[in-house]
Structure 1
């Protein structure tokens, strides 16, 4: 049975699931009724962070134009441009044992593509969630529903997977950004 988290909560992932080697982080969302003339295109991304909380190179930023880190241990499923249907809209698979040792944290984010030009924000997005699944069995281990706490934000750090005493933990973050993907990139050390 999945553990349901609230914003700010943390949970052991590998300690409470012995033998877990591969996980899938599924991210999903819906859009509210909106009549702005432009379709919504939300994107999942992951920033692979070192001890200083920054990417060591731009290749450690996983998104629709860079779907994998250098050794392939972190891979984005693809780019769902509509968010239609139930379930995960985009997902990222992580081979926990193969994640390079210098990556201490993986930050999972959702951004709105061309949000400023389309006059869109997370106040128009509903039912956002992140969930962690055992990639081998599809068993949902952890779920975090973001709620409707956002208004003008165009990007959200949804959750983090991080190392602690040789184990992996999951943290429900839910932190919004007003300046979208560019703001996330700047804060995490990606050159834009």
Structure 2
């Protein structure tokens, strides 16, 4: 059973799940007549909240972090997969020590040009899974929560000492992925 967190809520992943080290970020949606293309991405941030460097922005055009701890498994443009349409894997145990936070983002490709937003989606979600136990840690309904927006920071996974904390963020934007990139560079 996944944990339902509201914006601003958090859980200690190291205590809530036994020895959590590997997570899967799953993004899924059902296609509508509008043919929306959703993208999942992760920003690996330093203590100052800025991107470690450009190679630590993981998305469909940069599929692996330099430390190989985070991997995007490929771009799905149609939402036609059986389960999760896009998947990003992260190994919290092997991530570079300089990493203090992962910002997990979802965006709609070319949303402004095409007039797309999350409200046009059906059954769109983003979720976090414990890879070892296959337990769903959290799931978030995109289309119901961000009707007019086209990009959002779904969650932040922050490191404090040796423990990782999952923070529900849900910070939406109408500036597509570039607006979120600008927050972290």
Cα offset, 1:50, TM superposition: 0.8
Q: Secondary structure at the match of 2:146?
A: coil
Contact 2:28 2:83 in 1 (8 A): yes
Q: Secondary structure at the match of 1:148?
A: helix
Cα offset, 1:34, TM superposition: 4.2
In structure 2, distance between residues paired with 1:151 and 1:4: 19
Alignment equivalent of 1:158, drawn from 133, 154, 167: 154
Contact 1:41 1:83 in 2 (8 A): yes
Output one character per residue of 1:67-101: Cα deviation in whole Å (capped at 9) or x when no partner: 11101101112111111245322121111111111
Matched, 1:73 2:73: no
The equivalences for 1:20-169 within 5 A come to 20-31=20-31, 33-34=32-33, 39-146=35-142, 148-169=144-165
Q: What is the TM-score normalised by the length of structure 2?
A: 0.90
Bigger drift between 124-133 and 45-54 goes to 124-133
CA RMSD of aligned residues (A): 1.8
Bigger drift between 134-143 and 8-17 goes to 134-143
Q: What is the TM-score normalised by the length of structure 1?
A: 0.87
Output one character per residue of 1:128-156: Cα deviation in whole Å (capped at 9) or x when no partner: 32322121332223333345232432211
Contact 1:5 1:145 in 2 (8 A): no
- Residues 12 and 84 of structure 1, relative CA distance in 2, 3 Å threshold: same
In structure 2, distance between residues paired with 1:22 and 1:115: 31
Give unmatched runs, 5+ long, in structure 1: none
Give unmatched runs, 5+ long, in structure 2: none
Bigger drift between 175-184 and 124-133 goes to 124-133
